[in-house]
Structures are given as C-alpha cells and as structure tokens.
Structure 1
C-alpha cells in the first residue's frame, strides 16, 4: 500500500472504524496493526458502533463525523475531550457537537464547552499540612477573606515561614490588623452650648439646662461603637470621643 492509499484509508474515519465490527484487538494485530492502533480502533468502534443507551445520539455523531469527513486522528482528538466529562449524557452531547464541528474548530469548541460544564469549585474553612522531603512543610488555611488578608500582610516575604510562626505564637508584637471604624459627627448646637473646658473634656449646658461633660453627652446621644466628633458652628471641631462603654481605670484593669 502506497502512502497515498494509506492516508486515504485514515481519512475514511468512522467508515474505517465500522469495518472493525466483529473483530478483536488481537484480530487486528494479526492483520498487521500495532497493539496501540488495534486498541484505539476497537475503542472507537465500541463508542461509535457498540451498544449504548444513547443510540440516537450515537447515530447523530456517526452521521456528523461522516458528513464532516473527520479522520481517525480527529476522532481520537474528539474523544480526548469527551472522556473528561463524567456524566454520560453530557459526554454524548459534547461528542455529537464536536462531530458536527469542522475539524479545525474542534479544539476551540471543546474547550469552550468544557469550561461551561465545569462545576464551580466550592470553598469552606479548612487547614491542610503537607510535609516535604527537605524538612520544610506547607500549611494551607482557608478562612474569612478579610482575616486572611490581614494575616497575609503581617508576613515578612523575605522570611515567610519564620515570620508567620512568630506571629502565630505571639512573638512578633501586635498583629497589623485592619479595622474599620465609624466616624459620626454630633452638632453641638443641636444639644446645647459650651460652658468651659475642664481637664481633657468640655462642659456643656444642654438645651434642658442640665450641665454635662462632652463624654456623657456623646454616651447619651450615640449607642453604636465608633468615633464621634463634636463640631460647633462657632468653634469648629471641639473634641473627639470613642463611643463605647466608658469604664473607670479600675474597671479597665479588671
């Protein structure tokens, strides 16, 4: 058989596969096929002409492959994609579509469909440790995105392992954690007028006539944690308070 005839036979694609009906791989090897070629031909025959619950799709794939003149190599290429799909109906749908696709477009169409079929990966909190032969180990931790970002920023990229362990064991000082703080503005004239500054605070006469400190005024006016700035139209920014439960020195110590 000359090269021209050999390539012409390979170009017969599904028709060449159909001729394997009733033959086994050893039978093909006796005819001169290599063990690999024989196994691949029998595999293709099983797919395109063997028993299957999807006979309609099988017929459509064979007709489409014949119509497009797909060669044996194209059929092998198509199967390299369809075998990545575990669910059989989905695999047959992909096979039919690729058989109906011109050979030069098979790769692009297959990759696009495989991306669409890929189930999005789900993540959950977990920790994994992988030991390496050289004495090092890799710790992989999945957790809250903001917490992980804060932890990552504390790592010295020149010495990631040592700095991470030191931080985890509390040997590297306070963690560089990002904190979001609310800043609220309290307009003084809505509550009273400044009487005088006393120590680190201001004394305010409220609209009801009562005298109170700026801290007490803020504590009454705002219940949420955050930063409160008292601003006066006349005096501008007056003072800044952290809005939280005000504890005595002894209470803080306890």
Structure 2
C-alpha cells in the first residue's frame, strides 16, 4: 500500500466499516499486522451506533447523519472523546451532542463541543416530588428557581429559625395567615451592571443574592428593594471596612461586604449560600491575623474546618488573596484557582 491508498482508506466513511463488526467478535479481526487497539476502537463504535441503548431514536438519527456526512472512523472516535464526560452522568445530553456532531462538518466538532459544554445547565425541572420509604421518614423535594427557593427559605427561617421543619409546616398548614417576613438579604450589583440596569437594559444581567437566589436586573427593578434589605455596589478596585485586632469576629458591615464579594462559600464548587457560612481569617487570628475584610473570606462550616490555616497547603489546600481577590491554593501547587 502506498501513501495515497493509506490516506484514502482513513478517509473512507466510517459507519459502513463499523457496521461490518455487527455479529462479529474481536477475535475475528485480530490477525498478524493488525493493531489490536484499532480493532477494539471499531467494536466500541459498533456498540455506540448499533448496540442496545436507552435512546434508540437519537441513535437512528446519528446513523442517518453519518450516512450524509460520511465521517471517517477517526472522526467518529473524536466524537466519542467529545461526549465522553456526559455518557454516564447525562446520557441523553451525550446522545443529543453526539447527533449534533455527527451532523456537523469534521472541522467544527471541537468548536461545537466547547460551545455545548460552556452552556450553563438548566438543572432539574420545577416541581414537587414525594418519596416514601418503608418504616422510615418520607421526603418532599421542591424544585424551583433559585429566587423562589431563597424566598421560601427566608420565610421559613423568619417563622422558626431554630427549627426550619416546624417553620415549614407552620407555613403550609396556614398557621401564619399573614405573609411571613423575609430575612433581609443582600443584592450584589457591579457598578458597570448598575449603569445598564438604570438605563432599562437589565434583562440579561444575572444578579446574585447572598441567600442563594439569583435574579435578573429587570426583576430587581420590578421588586421593592425593601424586600431584600440591602443593595451593595461592588467596585472592582476599592477595599472596605477594617476592624484590625479589636475583635475576632466580623462586624455587621464587614459581613455584608464579605457576602457581597462571595455570595456563596468561596471554596471551589461549593454551593452553600453566604448567609449559611462563616467568616474565615486567611491569616489565622491566633497567628496575628487582622479582622479586616482583606483578611477574611466567606466559607461554609466544613471548608472553614478543613482549610489549612498555617504552613503550606499540602493536604486540602487553603484560601488566599491574589491581587485583592479571594482564591484557593490547591495542595498540588500550581496557579491559585
């Protein structure tokens, strides 16, 4: 075989070649001079496009697309690499992306993959679900927008902060006929966003609330600010109130500003709202650290406990500040996150 034959073979439509594996075994193709890894790749593709699946409709759609685009085996393997992270956790989304990539020109596959995975997840659908267990407590799960859930939790805590379950039942059983007062939370608005909101262009601006909720700039305009209690304008360069060594605990103004800086626990991927968090000294209080906003960071109880206060961050990592912004120093070194 010369180079031209080799290149032509690698550019051949891959689906027809994969179809030849249907009804065959790997051993049928393992011959001297044949790369075993290549054979296993072909059978992996056979299972994807001709094997059992929970999404037969999307599988058929993908096969139809490949008959039209004629993607090579190498391109099919690239598609599988692109959807790999979703195959187990989001099987339907993996198939939807696979179909989209099968329909696209080969040169656009990487770009389309980046775009698809950059889109924020919509999360579970809104609704109420009850789960009953034999001889055990049952559960009710309420799924709604972050703002609705934050409002609900604010009402429950206002009724009974020490026992949220009792507050919940008081609310749903109508023991509180008047609307329960909401806990004052903090709306965080960057100065450049405020300009757009004031101009009536806030539809696409998503604002964070320290009770875990989110709302658009347009929704902020529609609601009374008194429902939230505070609005903090965050300037990217200015620093706030200091207490130095006069108190170990952050004062109310500092807590407001810290919650505005980090509306949830600052540890990477933690979703605990700031109002349920603690205020951690980056340089520990016992080692002379000041109770200044520049030395404080919002952390949930768990991450406040595991953060490595002193010495190198070689086990769980630690919170630091880089150019005034909070960051996590991973235990394996490298750039802070």
Q: TM-score, normalised by structure 2?
A: 0.38
Q: Which is richer in strand?
A: 1
Answer with 1 or 2: which has the greater Rg.
1
Q: TM-score, normalised by structure 1?
A: 0.50
